[in-house]
Every structure is written in structure tokens, then in C-alpha cells.
Amino acid sequence: MKESITGTLVLDASVLIDLLMLSNRGKIIQKALLDEVVDAHTTEMAIIETKYILCRRLGWNEANTQVEKLLASGYISVEKTEQIIDSAARYKCERNISLADSLILALAKKLGCKALFSHREKELVNEIQKKKFDVEIIFLEDYEK
């Protein structure tokens, strides 16, 4: 387990879902946000993923309400994707990862910060093992007690 999570981070949808569901991992990122030790950013695609996954679990109204409250809180900045289109497309072209993950990595590269995922996803881990990314990738699971 790592000590604490700090700094500027780009949050994947998996982290946003943990946060909104207040899972053990979600509580870690919630505390970091409330303590203002994390400057959080995400992509429009991650917001879409968060809404549809929560919708399947909680229904549309509850999912939409939770995501809208999170966005209104000001704790997370949603960045436009137009400035990272080429970078995201290149990650997707060269690597066997999802388009959503490509956008997270492209935004982290643009901001010069780390990309945070909730857990080690198989296709992302496979790509890391093949060749290191030019962006630091960290996992919320490593901060669990």
C-alpha cells in the first residue's frame, strides 16, 4: 500500500464510479478531494461512461443526479477533448486499449500529470508490460489499506 494520493491527476471513469458509490477506494479519493491535496481532471468521455454505468446500477435519474452534483461541486474539472484528439488517436492506434483510456492518457500527457485508474484493467496492464507509456499511470487499489 502506498502512503497517500496527492497532486494533479486525471481520473478515469472507474475512479469516478468508486467515488460516487463511496466504495473503499472511492473514500480514498473523496478524502483527497475534500482535503484539497488532489487537483482532479477528467474527460467528457469519462463522464459519459460514469453516467451510463451508474444508470445500469441505479437508474437514470439517480445516476444523472449524482454525476451532476459531482460536477457542480467544482472538485473535478472536465476538460474538452478537442485539444487531445491527435494524442488520443495515436494511443488508440498504437495500443490495444479502449478509446476512453486513450483519452485519459492523452489528457494526462497534455497536463503533465498522472493518470489514475481504480484498478489494473487487463488490457491496460498488458500494454504496460509490452512497453512503458509516456505518462505515469497509477491505480487507486494501491492506496487501499
**Confidence band of 1 (pLDDT split at 50, 70, 90):** low
pLDDT tens digits for range 78-137: 999 999 999 999 999 999 999 999 999 999 999 999 999 999 989 999 999 999 999 999
Is 60 a member of any domain?
Answer: yes
Which residues form the domain of 58?
A: 7-143
pLDDT tens digits for range 58-78: 999 999 999 999 999 999 999
Confidence check: pLDDT of 53 > 60: yes
- For the record, the C-alpha cell of 10 comes out as 486525471
Q: Select from 121, 82, 73 the least CA-distant residue to 101.
A: 121
At residue 48, the pLDDT reads: 97
DSSP 74: T
Residue 36: left (phi > 0), alpha (psi -120 to 50), or beta? Answer: left
Is 2 a member of any domain?
Answer: no
Question: Does the predicted model carry a pTM greater than 0.85?
Answer: yes
Is 126 a member of any domain?
Answer: yes
Alpha helices (H) along 6-121: 13-21, 24-34, 44-58, 60-73, 85-94, 99-111
**Structural domain count, the chain:** 1
Is 1 a member of any domain?
Answer: no
* 3-class DSSP assignment, residue 22: coil
Domain CATH for 78: 3.40.50.1010
- For the record, the C-alpha cell of 5 comes out as 494520493
| Angle value at C-alpha 61, between 55 and 62, nearest 5 degrees | 70
Is 32 a member of any domain?
Answer: yes
